[in-house]
Amino acid sequence: MMVPIATLGPLGRLKAPGTWGSAAGLLWWATVVRLAHVKGWHHEFFFDALVVLASVLLCGVAAAIIGKKDPSEVILDEFAAMPLVFLFNPYVYQSTRSSLLFIVLGFLLFRLFDITKPFGIKTLEKLPGGFGIVLDDVMAAIYANLALHGIAWLWDLL
């Protein structure tokens, strides 16, 4: 049961599985987390943290069952990290064209940091079990979040 959850069903077997996991995470964020925020529920940080913690466990167990340290088909880590890209950014909660631009930029920045693994992200992969699988994606999301906030700050200057 753990493996289908960690691979998001058939998505983990598609070409470019990390991108599919990120896209599923973006869809989750847009349809659940963003909507809850817009409806007045502003506790997404705590909810996101719970999803990340559950992902550490699920990804670690799935990797052990599959028999690889960080199987490419395990994409729950991208799914769990993607919503972190948008934390505390008011631009993504508006219903404007700039909101869509910031959402697309956030997705692209996350994929860039997740794929290139700059600034110590690669070191996090060496952590044991689910921690190594998930925390590199969490850090990529944090870098994407910071970059998106920087872009928002510049946007405000224009």
Continuous segment of H or E residues that includes residue 23: helix 17-28
Cα separation, 122 vs 132, whole angstroms: 9
Note the pTM of the prediction, 2 decimals: 0.92
Cα separation, 9 vs 111, whole angstroms: 21
pLDDT band per the 50, 70, 90 thresholds, residue 97? confident
* Res 94 pLDDT > 90: no
Nearest to 86 by CA among 36, 148, 39: 148
Nearest to 12 by CA among 110, 79, 82: 79
Q: What is the pLDDT of residue 39?
A: 79
What string of DSSP letters covers 56-122? HHHHHHHHHHHT-SS-TT--HHHHHHGGGGGTT-GGGGSSSHHHHHHHHHHHHHHHHHHHH-TTTHH
pLDDT digits (tens, 9 = 90+) for 127-153: 999 999 999 999 999 999 999 999 989
